[in-house]
Amino acid sequence: MAEAVSFDECFQTFPKLDSPADLDAFWKEGFQQLKKIPLRETYKTVLKGSFIWESLNEVTYDSIGNYTIHGKLSIPRKRGDRPVVVFFHDYLGGLEEIQKGYSDLGVAQLHITLRGHGAEMIQAPID
């Protein structure tokens, strides 16, 4: 029978992470490049009505490399400003669904589709 292992012992094999010396400069340069790109956002309501408690919208905006970022925006029917939670799905997992619990609390949700994922994903042929 195997001996029980503590939680901390499970992570002793991870290598030490040393950030490169220019990591801050890398991120600063990346943000400066992003700020130069006009957003050219689009916003299209897909679902709205008196029988539902939120509207569902498709949004897009321009990004680096002439790439268009896609997403879904769910806005609860609540007057005034409301907080927003932004979801980025796992690279290996599927896209996140709108979470009813957030909508019930009056929180808007923006679900971003990462580059190369979703409907615009191109599959390489399998030989």
pLDDT tens digits, 16-42: 778 888 999 999 998 999 899 988 888
- What is the pTM for the complete model shown? 0.63
Better pLDDT: 51 or 103: 103
> How do 67-76 and 54-63 pair as beta strands?
antiparallel
Give residues with Cβ within 8 angstroms of 24, minimum separation 6: none
- Give the pLDDT score at 32: 92
Q: Say how far apart CA 97 and CA 55 lie, in whole Å.
A: 14
Q: Say how far apart CA 2 and CA 97 lie, in whole Å.
A: 40
pLDDT band at 116 (very low <50, low <70, confident <90, very high): low
6-15, 24-33, 75-84, 103-112: least confident range: 6-15
